[in-house]
Each structure stands twice: as C-alpha cells, then as structure tokens.
Chain A
C-alpha cells in the first residue's frame, strides 16, 4: 500500500520540487557577484549533468554488472539498464544545450573543444551507440549480454569527465559541489537551491526511468500476446488429419 503510494507520488513530487527549484532559482535567489542573473542557469545545468553522468550511467552500469553476474542475472536488469541509458541520452542532450546557452554569454563562445565538453559529447555518442547496438540483434540474451558489456566499457568515460577539469587545463570551471576538499563554493540561498535542484532532477530521473521501464514491460507483453495469437492462428491453418 505504502509502496504503491510512493510509486504514484514520484511524478507529482518530482514536478513539485522542480517547480520549487525554478521559483527559488528565478525569483528568490540573488544575482551573482560576477555573473549577475546568468547564475540562474546554475540551478538547472549542474543537476542535469549530475543525472546524465552519475545517476543514469551509474544505474545502467550497476544493472548491467548485475545482469552479467550469473547469480543476479534477470531480464528486468537488462530493461533497467536500457531505460536508464535512454533517459541518459535525454539528459546528456539537455546538459550540452544548457551548457552551451550558459557558455555563450559567460565564456563568449557556444562551444569549446576542451576536455570536459568533448568527453561529455563522447559519452552522448556512446549512449547512442548503446541504443544502436540493442537494435543490431534480435536475440534477447545476446543483445542483453553485449549491451551490458558495452555499458560497463563506456562508463569508464564518466570518471574521465569528472576529473577532466582537474587532470587537464579546461575552459570549463572546476567543481562547485563535488570539490576535492569537500567545500561547497556556492553561498547562502544559492547553495540551498542548487542542492534542491539535485534532488528534484534525481527524482525526475527515477520517475522517467520507472515510466520507461513500464513501457518496456508493456511492449514485451504485447509481443508475447502477438506471438501466442500467431501460434494459435498457425494451429488453425493446419488441416486436421
């Protein structure tokens, strides 16, 4: 009962928190000392990147690893990984778009070929590659196994993206939240709104994931029903001896 209530509340709560984030971000929080009102993109861009890189790729990688492990192998894990990568593609695209919108007035350019931006774009291509790979084979087991291996291999890019601003000189600024000395570089109500945005977008991810997973289950059920109907039809076509 409580579990079902929690599942049903996921969407409305996500929307409520997103609304609260936007309200605080656009009307309540102050302008930044250097960036002025451009700082308001802080309340959507980092949270989108957090979901695109860590939450969705993390979910897909854990599900893929569990699928490959014989003791935990289950079709549902393959579905979770697939759904998480699909949602990730959406959030990677949003991350690149909002980053570009932020970059034009602050840096002065829409795009820079620095290590952070390029490695994020590569992750987006990898995610599309994962989806393309799934369409390349109709055998469920082979498809799931290959996809799981591919997902784990591409996830290596995630720590590269994270540390790119430390390992190399980039135009993209360093971390504001996940800093090496664990100090938050954002002040006051701006920090609270930023943290709220992380929570809101994380819940939104799980809402999208659940919805996408349910669509996948429904599609599998429909395929099974069609298969059973085809078999019945074939039985009917065979002349009785």
Chain B
C-alpha cells in the first residue's frame, strides 16, 4: 500500500511469474531436451561409426548375415557397369573385395577409385555379393586444381 509520504518508496515484492509463462518456458526447455535426446538416439548412439569397412564386414559376415549395413570401400577401377536400375562394381578394402549391385541413380561424383558408402545387405551370410539401395560418395579432404597448368589470359580466354 502507498504511504502518505511521497518519498516513501519501500521496495515492493515483485509479482510472481504467471504460471502460464512458467509453463511455457518449461515446455520450451522440455522440447529442447527431448530434441537433444532424440538426436543422440538417432545419430550418435546408433551410429557413432557411420559404416563398416569392407574388411570389417567380410570378417563379421556371418554375424551380420543379411542385416542392412553401410559398407565403405574404394570403387575398383574398370569394374563399374551401368545397369538399367543403377550400377554394379567391386568395392575393395585392404584385404578383400565385395561385388555390389546397387539400385538407384548413383551420385554425380560416383566414379572409379573414389571411396563410397553403400547402404544395403549381403545377399546371404556367406556371399561376397552385396545388394545396395543407395550409394553415398565419401570424398577426401584434399582439394587440387583440375587443370593446374591452365592459366587465364587477360582477355578472359583459358589457355
């Protein structure tokens, strides 16, 4: 209550934050916490290692069976055959290779001698054939000019 004295400015207790606002804040923080848990579950916990290399997959072939995995290896030169549904090629590791038949259009960087990750499964627990549904190109972190000796003339033409 206001005092009669005009200079009396006793601090007043601030009104409590409305329960609606508090609830909204808690909801926002809760939603963010759930997002983090979902991201952790979806991403980090289930796929800290995003793929198995060809060597790992061949070594664990019996335990993997026909379960869907992501398989990483180098596309063997001169082994790519374009098919009506996609492409087939050999994927090599350090100690072995897998024959991949992939369905769907490969990415534009797909080529021989490039590391790729293929989503799919082995045809059987003892087979070296891999049935792929998606190819992802795992390009390197090295960047080199396509034509290192090519120079641009002052008039803009390339020599």
Min Cβ gap B70→A in Å is 8
Contact A107 B141 (CB under 8 A): no
Tell me if B9 is interfacial: C-beta within 8 Å of chain A: yes
- A187 and B6 contacting across the interface, CB-CB below 8 Å: no
Number of interface residues of B (CB under 8 A): 53
Q: Does B25 contact A176, Cβ atoms closer than 8 Å? A: no
Interface residue stretch chosen among B39-47, B60-68, B76-84: B39-47
B159 within 8 A of A: no
- A149 at interface (Cβ–Cβ under 8 A)? no
Number of A-B contacts (CB under 8 A): 158
**B26 contact set on A, CB distance < 8 A:** 136
Contacts of B40 in A (CB 8 A): 118, 122
- B interface vs A, CB < 8 Å? 2-9, 17, 25-26, 28-29, 32-33, 35-36, 39-40, 42-44, 46-51, 53, 72, 106-110, 114, 117, 134-148, 150
Contact of A115 with B43 in the complex, beta carbons under 8 Å: yes
Task: Give the interface residue-count category, chain A.
Answer: 35 or more
Q: What are 30 A-B pairs with beta-carbon distances under 8 A?
A: A33-B144, A36-B146, A105-B109, A106-B139, A108-B136, A112-B136, A114-B50, A115-B47, A117-B43, A118-B39, A118-B42, A118-B43, A121-B43, A122-B39, A122-B40, A125-B39, A128-B32, A129-B29, A135-B25, A138-B17, A171-B50, A171-B51, A171-B138, A173-B140, A173-B141, A174-B141, A185-B140, A234-B2, A237-B2, A238-B4
A115 to B46, CA, bound (A): 10
Q: Cβ of B44 and Cβ of A32 under 8 Å apart?
A: no
CA of A170 to CA of B136 in the docked complex: distance in angstroms? 12
What residue in chain A is nearest B56 (Cβ atoms)? A169
- Nearest 10 CB-CB pairs, A to B? A118-B43, A108-B107, A30-B145, A114-B50, A173-B141, A241-B4, A136-B25, A113-B43, A185-B142, A169-B49
